[in-house]
Structure 1
Amino acid sequence: MTRNDGHGRTGRVAGMTDTAGKRGTAGRAEPGARGPVARIASPALPLYLTMIVSSAGALVGTAVLGRHATVSLAAFTVTTAVHTPAVAAVAGALRGVMPFVAAEREDPDALLPMVRDGMWLGVATGLLGAAAVGAVPLIGRASGVPEETLAELGALPALLACGVLVSAVGNSATSTLVGLGRSKPVMHAGTAGTVTAVALSLLLVGGVGPFGGLGPTGAGVAMLASNLVGAAVAHRALRRSPVLAGLRLRPGRPHVRALLRLAAVGVPLAATVLVKFAVLGVLALAAARTGSDSAAAHGISVSLANLVFTAAVAVGQATVPLVSPYVGGGDVRGLRGGVLAGVKVAMGAVLVLGGVLASAGEPVVSLFTRDAVLRGLVTGLLPVVLPAVVTDALQAVFGFGLVAVKDTVPSLVVFAACYGALALAAVPVAAVGGLTALWAALACANTVLVAGQAWAFHRRSARLPCGPAGTPG
């Protein structure tokens, strides 16, 4: 059958269901069905693998640039100092689409406008991020970056600015797919983009045969092509998803009220990401003030921590579509149980990965450096790095619980308070106690953050309107 899509066009309605009747019961485990832990772990694994593959691809690109020329790597580092938080903030903003999609994933009529509005949110946030990356030459000059490095930038800032916009449009599709509970297509899109980036980086940065390579510009071309391929694969998967199959996904005209509803969830998430990046930058500065070895050890420790923490981000994203039916049905007990299941999965993953890292610390650290002194510093830091990662993982899952209830302002407030205090204390703490004290301070801040995020989620979940299965919090 067909129906009008609100813009004068018609499309096939796939799988029409009475979602109003389902919202009170959807998401409950049927007899013999998998429990919530398994239903979170299954979609979380492809998301985690996607992030790991992407990180590995980025390391290859950095290594190729470093082998090409030191000044090329310096130019790339200056650009990514703006590009990385811009992309992370845009991705954070678009995660605000997930709970809206998850709430209507059985109803094509309600879902289609959200998908289109999500694309417009991607364009809006992508343009802001692109403007920031495009201004890298100005930012670098104002920050005192050497002219030799700025001269090496070439077309890199412009290429990466375009990449931010393309990535934002792609993220609108991947966030929708996550909201629909379809994480494997997200993995396919991420893998295709990473393969493209690695292949083109090897070809364009250093060159092959008589072709001398393009340096940073070649890296920019590779990253832009990667974003284009990833976005194309993600949007193709979105068009082929069962609930949207046969429907026209062109954005059409933007709907201001709908965009504001999405932005009310997504923008605080983006701001939270920026707060975290800013304070982690302060920690890196504090580590650098204690010596070059400490700065390098801190950088390696951050990379190892991110390898483990990424699992919690994947679990948190997978939790949103699982608990969304409980939100729609006003089932407070089901919502809290689902988020606690996410906590269990995240804790299990982080403890396993952390245990592997702790037991194989020396060989793993050797992948980052051949310096025996530096290896010893990083290995000695692991006992305090791991608690910081575990607490960060816990707060992230509770943060995604707030995403599920479409109220992310408490996360921003708690982050600003905890990490603001950490930023003020970082330099004196590092000066007195070195890296160990600095990471212990981060673990303490994350512990307070866990309490704040859990408290905010508990209070916010208690205010859900009671449905058939709801119980007052």
Structure 2
Amino acid sequence: MGTPREAAPPSEAPGRGMVGRTVTTALPLYLTMLASTVGGLVDTAVLGRHATASLAAFALTMAVYVPATATVAGTMRGVMPFVAAHDDDPDALVPVVRDTMWLGIVTGLLGALAVGAVPLLGLVSGVPQQTLAELGALPLLMAASVLVAAVGNSATSTLVGLGHSKLVMRAGTTGTAAAVVLSLTLVNGIGSFDGFGLIGAGIAMLVSSLISASVAHWGLRRPAVLAGRSLSPGRPQARALIRLAGVGVPLAATVLIKFAVLGVLAIAAARVGTVSAAAHSIAVSLAGLMFTAAVAIGQAIIPLMAPFLKVKDVRGMRAAVRAGVTTALGAVVLLGVALAVLRIPVLSFFTHDPDVRHTLMALLPLVLLVALTDALQAVFGFGLVAMRNTVPSLLAFAVCYGLLALAAAPLSAQGGLRALWFALLAANTLLAIAQASFFHQRSSRLAGPPARPEMDAPDVTVPRNVGP
């Protein structure tokens, strides 16, 4: 048995110290996500300079690759509470780590199949032949990248569950740096080397995934609880995989629902007009930048809640989530203020069209409110993840975003882009309320039974569990 990490006593109400721990754990995760976003922008910019047809083929592949990798990542986040529950017990933790690797392999193969089918999907959906002909071996390279990234996610999810977010940042930033350097070199070439064009971008992303996964798995040897232990996957255990998937698959489904409905909103915005479509796309990117901070914070509270979950301390669990909510609100407000102050240079970076900038300026308050409510629902959702209870989140997303999808077209037709974003705000607000309600309801059920009377008072009737 390893030495247990010190945790705040469950009977004490954590305060600023817990918020500080949340920030310390979440910040490296957020920086990792930002670095990955920058790397993706570099790929797009390099290919755009190479050839329009190459960029179109890349965009077609990414339309499947991004949801596939996001779904895999969502599934793998479901293992974090299982890891956090055994952060002081190597004998119990090692089997979880091995099962996590197998879950990464299985989900990675499914994602790879989807990305590998891009040419067929493009043919069925009527993509121009010129774009399909440009694909070449890119779908196969990207399919391999999905599989490698999934195996890497098995390591990073384990590290997040153990609270070692700096090791995750090391893996992510190393892979992103490699992707940027290789993209700049392999796409357009350097010196006498002419480059590989679109295939170069695929090679860069695959090598980047390999480097990131390798560094992450190397990082698994660093935590004391796993030091000296064999982490080879061994034989897959079907029951264990099903248990992990029972938490991760609903998470992945919520990701798919969100991607699908945001696609519906993009179509509704495009029907309003070209300016609205462009403004909507930029607004979604800005909101996503702020929401990413909430995702990092949500992951950070999972190891924070683990000591309280072990002893069924509802007060401590809720304090951890409150710390996450406080941190998320602070992060979104801070980013929102920065966006408001720097709105002119920021919006000019995205577009030179004065009509699009004017539309965005009017939309900014709504964008900030949407990001705020989205952050709230995410933190409460990760509180449910920590309790291994993700089905309620899936149901809430299905209802709230399902209604949003149905209302998108008529609302945009009647009220334009503002009506669409008001609807998104309403959906996120309802979702935040639902997630908070589910979290409080489920956490109440985890309360331990009331203390039994002393043995020398056998005649006292003991009431059944009445909750906290």
TM-score w.r.t. length of structure 1: 0.93
Distance in structure 2 (CA, Å) of the matches to 1:250 and 1:55 = 31
**Contact 1:86-1:132 at 8 Å conserved across structures:** yes
Return the letter of the residue paired with 2:233: P
Secondary structure, aligned partner of 1:289: helix
Return the letter of the residue paired with 2:32: T
**1:189 maps onto 2:171 in alignment:** yes
**1:347 maps onto 2:329 in alignment:** yes
**Correspondent of 2:74 among 83, 92, 106:** 92
Distance in structure 1 (CA, Å) of the matches to 2:444 and 2:239 = 27
Query: What is residue 3 of structure 1 aligned with on the other side?
Result: none
* Offset of residue 27 of structure 1: 5.8
Distance in structure 2 (CA, Å) of the matches to 1:119 and 1:168 = 9
* Offset of residue 210 of structure 1: 3.3
Return the letter of the residue paired with 1:312: A
* Offset of residue 31 of structure 1: 11
1:152-208 residue CA offsets vs partner (Å, 9 max, x unmatched): 111111001000000000001000000000000100101001001100100111122
CA distance 1:467–1:175, change in 2 (3 Å): farther
* Offset of residue 403 of structure 1: 0.2
Distance in structure 2 (CA, Å) of the matches to 1:108 and 1:391 = 38
Query: What is residue 456 of structure 2 aligned with on the other side?
Result: none
Distance in structure 1 (CA, Å) of the matches to 2:423 and 2:242 = 37
Query: What is residue 284 of structure 1 aligned with on the other side?
Result: 266
Distance in structure 2 (CA, Å) of the matches to 1:166 and 1:84 = 14
CA distance 1:255–1:431, change in 2 (3 Å): same
Distance in structure 2 (CA, Å) of the matches to 1:354 and 1:258 = 42
Query: What is residue 250 of structure 1 aligned with on the other side?
Result: 232
**Contact 1:99-1:320 at 8 Å conserved across structures:** yes
Query: What is residue 306 of structure 1 aligned with on the other side?
Result: 288
CA distance 1:424–1:345, change in 2 (3 Å): same
**1:120 maps onto 2:97 in alignment:** no
* Offset of residue 272 of structure 1: 0.6
**Over aligned residues, Cα RMSD in angstroms?**
1.9
**Contact 2:99-2:233 at 8 Å conserved across structures:** yes
**Contact 1:287-1:295 at 8 Å conserved across structures:** yes
**Contact 1:135-1:157 at 8 Å conserved across structures:** yes
Distance in structure 1 (CA, Å) of the matches to 2:149 and 2:143 = 10
**Contact 1:330-1:464 at 8 Å conserved across structures:** yes
Distance in structure 2 (CA, Å) of the matches to 1:204 and 1:394 = 41
**1:333 maps onto 2:328 in alignment:** no
Distance in structure 2 (CA, Å) of the matches to 1:393 and 1:16 = 35
Query: What is residue 324 of structure 1 aligned with on the other side?
Result: 306
**Contact 1:330-1:467 at 8 Å conserved across structures:** no
Query: What is residue 346 of structure 2 aligned with on the other side?
Result: 364
Query: What is residue 161 of structure 1 aligned with on the other side?
Result: 143
Distance in structure 2 (CA, Å) of the matches to 1:458 and 1:52 = 31
Distance in structure 2 (CA, Å) of the matches to 1:219 and 1:377 = 34
Query: What is residue 393 of structure 1 aligned with on the other side?
Result: 375
* Offset of residue 465 of structure 1: 4.6
Distance in structure 1 (CA, Å) of the matches to 2:15 and 2:339 = 34
Secondary structure, aligned partner of 1:127: helix
Distance in structure 2 (CA, Å) of the matches to 1:27 and 1:359 = 42
Query: What is residue 56 of structure 2 aligned with on the other side?
Result: 74
TM-score w.r.t. length of structure 2: 0.94
**Contact 2:159-2:167 at 8 Å conserved across structures:** yes
Secondary structure, aligned partner of 1:35: helix
* Offset of residue 144 of structure 1: 0.8
**Correspondent of 1:111 among 93, 108, 130:** 93
* Offset of residue 303 of structure 1: 1.0
**Correspondent of 1:149 among 116, 125, 131:** 131
**Contact 1:331-1:471 at 8 Å conserved across structures:** no
Query: What is residue 406 of structure 2 aligned with on the other side?
Result: 424
Secondary structure, aligned partner of 1:213: coil
Distance in structure 1 (CA, Å) of the matches to 2:38 and 2:350 = 13
Q: Structure 2: 5+ residue runs without aligned partners?
A: 452-464
CA distance 1:464–1:28, change in 2 (3 Å): closer
Query: What is residue 297 of structure 1 aligned with on the other side?
Result: 279
Query: What is residue 214 of structure 1 aligned with on the other side?
Result: 196
* Offset of residue 289 of structure 1: 1.2
1:238-295 residue CA offsets vs partner (Å, 9 max, x unmatched): 1122110111110001111111110000000001100000000111111111122211
**Contact 1:27-1:323 at 8 Å conserved across structures:** no
Return the letter of the residue paired with 2:211: V
**Contact 1:197-1:226 at 8 Å conserved across structures:** yes
* Offset of residue 433 of structure 1: 1.3
CA distance 1:33–1:398, change in 2 (3 Å): closer
Q: Structure 1: 5+ residue runs without aligned partners?
A: 1-12
Return the letter of the residue paired with 2:82: F
Return the letter of the residue paired with 1:276: K
Secondary structure, aligned partner of 1:250: coil
Distance in structure 2 (CA, Å) of the matches to 1:146 and 1:222 = 26
Query: What is residue 455 of structure 1 aligned with on the other side?
Result: 437
**1:375 maps onto 2:357 in alignment:** yes
Distance in structure 2 (CA, Å) of the matches to 1:268 and 1:287 = 29
**Contact 2:11-2:316 at 8 Å conserved across structures:** no
Return the letter of the residue paired with 1:472: G
* Offset of residue 211 of structure 1: 2.6
Between stretches 345-354 and 205-214, larger displacement belongs to 205-214
Query: What is residue 4 of structure 1 aligned with on the other side?
Result: none
**Contact 2:12-2:316 at 8 Å conserved across structures:** no
Following TM superposition, the consecutive aligned residue runs of length 4 or more in structure 1 with deviations greater than 6 angstroms are: 29-34, 467-471
Query: What is residue 5 of structure 1 aligned with on the other side?
Result: none
Secondary structure, aligned partner of 1:434: helix
Distance in structure 2 (CA, Å) of the matches to 1:344 and 1:359 = 22
**1:408 maps onto 2:390 in alignment:** yes
Query: What is residue 265 of structure 1 aligned with on the other side?
Result: 247
Between stretches 33-42 and 417-426, larger displacement belongs to 33-42
Secondary structure, aligned partner of 1:239: coil
Distance in structure 2 (CA, Å) of the matches to 1:467 and 1:288 = 56
1:321-355 residue CA offsets vs partner (Å, 9 max, x unmatched): 00112112111111111111110010011111011
Between stretches 26-35 and 294-303, larger displacement belongs to 26-35
Secondary structure, aligned partner of 1:243: helix
Between stretches 353-362 and 58-67, larger displacement belongs to 353-362
**Contact 2:295-2:379 at 8 Å conserved across structures:** yes
Between stretches 240-249 and 443-452, larger displacement belongs to 240-249
Query: What is residue 472 of structure 1 aligned with on the other side?
Result: 467
